[in-house]
Chains A and B, each alone.
Chain A
């Protein structure tokens, strides 16, 4: 009983033990934070990759793309495992906003919007499509403008809710207004974006808020579409809007929905050289956020067929260079096919690796298919086509991060040895200070092993208290890590997490139970280990010598 009693008493009376506890606490918190942030980074990387790409990606890693994508998709759509497949085209271009001279290089992605909605999580990252469902389209369209419904008079209140007058009700063109009212009725609210004058007025009147930025009609007349019809363009959110520290985005009056932007593209010839640039005006119909900064600050999305035509990758007639006569067709090309799988077929789960393997084989078989009379170049492009699961396709990104997580955890664990040394020093010091007490305890019948046990228990207790408080500290820190970062940025202008470097715009983190338990157990073991030397020293003291100690 004396062991437990003295351990507890020494814990309470020896203030210096608090330093050891603090060291263990900080080290366990540090390791846990590192593990959680790296783990969260990894998790986010995986979910984002999957959300962006679908289950299987078919690609040949060539800027020239590959042919027969539609024929291939038609074939595989009959497979029971395939839910949907869609071609994607990638290119580069210059984006220019018509109102300003601002120009920016962008990655242009050609998509079939309706298909992409099915294949990956693109739709959930769209802003206007969320609040005005069904209105985002890549087809040619005019600009929708907010007008007034003179039949309805609404009360206009200022921000304090005081009535300042009445006026006609602002409304969007009917299909847009109907879409808004549908999402409003379904309970969708944009609580993040700061209110505009328009949303404030509508909110004051208790009407569906027209969120986002729309141009107003010039004449106080009814809502309508203006301007010529131009194809739609979805723009990465970090290109068109400004991210606020609250994680909301601020859209600018200069860039209302439907405003004109121009894209300049460089088509590549079959030989891989850039010819004459082509310019195409678009209307900004929506903005997309994947959460990966590199994508959201660089990607714009337009219609697949349109981009193909602009890049001259669409199907054309093949002309005999000598006779000038048409001898067949050059097939159109795509850069990638994204595939969504059904989770199971006939009650059995679908294995993506196996399906990817079969998809590759099927594509290669197309090269020799007599149905298509392919040129040598096209066959070469098809030969390089490969189907990979999203995990495999992202392995080159995910595997290094996994390794890094392990490495950093080990490194921080090694750094945590400092805490072990500190526990050792402090306990050793206590043992030396308590030499006479050890002699006394032995003289009244305490065994050496018992005295040693006092200090081992002491070390374990330091470890336990330190590890538990460290885990708590780590969890709280991780939970508020973005607030802490925003505070640091605000107070010192010091941004630890760079969106540009780490892709994600917020610091990700996942506190895993198994990580927490591992850190706690390791900290307790380490502190106990640190106490062994001091405990041995205490146990090996000769009672008489300890009693004679000055």
Chain B
């Protein structure tokens, strides 16, 4: 990827206290009938810009839950996440755990929507592509989300150029018109990465991206992630595979609802 299409880390706004994403004492519990399942007991995390952080943990340890909270998709009962120094959630006392259909009326929700649109890019274990859309449309959708209908005709050309560049990078430039069902698992995951990057997010959040891939495809994907990191992309990756985690700058272990360094 050329520096013309992707801004370098230095071009991004400086993060306050040099940490781009900070989690402080994040707690998440699920009510299971009479008992409550405590998944996160108090997680602390600091991710600097340009870092490649891996979070390891057994299946069911709460990795996905933590990543969803970091990516503003889920709301913790307690604790706070700061992005670029600004809190992502309302103070615990005034925090609503569930979104409503009229989420645009809430300032906190609006902020999280803006973060998802611009700051974060998500990659999931199960790809999560829209089956009705072809490869290019799946990628472009992430740009449409932040653009008004009337602004789209003007923004379309740039969005398309970015989408094509990123698809080139992930090696799917010649598969634009294919449906997700016509692609292999590895290809689907690369489309998902393209979608997660097309809006140039400050952090790429990847939830077991290699979990469903064979060794060869997994390695290729990992190589892709490393390449992105080398270009300055901040990455937070969740995995239960030590081999995958070993590629990161820093590995954290999620155990008993807490994060610790290995």
Contact = CB atoms under 8 A, between A and B. Distances in A.
Given A444-B117, A444-B145, A446-B145, A542 B102 contact: no
B103 A447 contact: yes
Interface string A442-481: 1111111110100000000000000000000000000000
B144 A9 contact: no
B86 interface: no
Contacts of A448: 99-104, 109
Contact of A442 (B73, B130, B132): B73
Interface stretch (A27-35, A171-179, A214-222, A432-440): A432-440
A535 B102 CA distance: 11
A444 B104 contact: no
A444 B152 CA distance: 17
Contacts of A439: 128
Interface string B107-151: 001100110111000101000111111000100011011111101
B258 interface: no
Contact of B144 (A2, A443, A544): A2
Contacts of A447: 103-104, 109-110, 113
Nearest to A543: B73
B101 A444 contact: no
Contact of A9 (B122, B124, B133, B142): B133
Contact of A5 (B98, B128, B141): B141
B232 to A, nearest CB: 22
B255 interface: no
A449 B104 contact: yes
Contacts of A442: 73, 116
Contacts of A544: 68, 73-74
B195 interface: yes
Contacts of B133: 9
B147 A1 contact: yes
Given A9-B133, A13-B132, A539-B100, A1 B148 contact: yes
Given A1-B148, A2-B144, A436-B128, A443 B73 contact: yes
Contacts of A440: 128-130
A43 B17 CA distance: 82
A10 interface: yes
A442 B145 CA distance: 9
A443 to B, nearest CB: 5
A540 interface: yes
B100 A444 contact: no
A241 interface: no
Interface in B76-111: 98-104, 109-110
Contacts of B114: 445
A-side interface mostly: helix
Contact of B130 (A3, A437, A445, A543): A437
B100 A540 contact: yes
A1 B152 contact: yes
Given A448-B102, A448-B104, A449-B103, A1 B128 contact: no
A441 interface: yes
A122 interface: no
A10 B132 contact: yes
Contacts of A450: 104
A448 B73 CA distance: 12
A444 B122 contact: yes
A539 B100 CA distance: 7
A105 B247 CA distance: 107
Contacts of B116: 442-445
B198 to A, nearest CB: 10
Contacts of B142: 444-445
Contacts of B100: 448, 539-540
Contacts of B129: 440
A444 B141 contact: yes
Contacts of A535: 101
A114 interface: no
B101 A547 contact: no
A450 B110 CA distance: 12
B132 A2 contact: no
Contacts of B152: 1
Contacts of A452: 101
Interface in A525-545: 535-536, 538-540, 542-544
Interface of B: 68, 71, 73-74, 98-104, 109-110, 113-114, 116-118, 122, 124, 128-133, 137, 141-142, 144-149, 151-152, 195
8 contacts: A1-B149, A440-B128, A443-B116, A444-B142, A445-B142, A447-B109, A447-B110, A448-B104
Interface of A: 1-6, 9-10, 13, 436-437, 439-450, 452, 535-536, 538-540, 542-544, 547
Given A6-B141, A544-B68, 7 more contacts: A5-B141, A440-B130, A445-B118, A446-B145, A540-B99, A542-B74, A543-B74
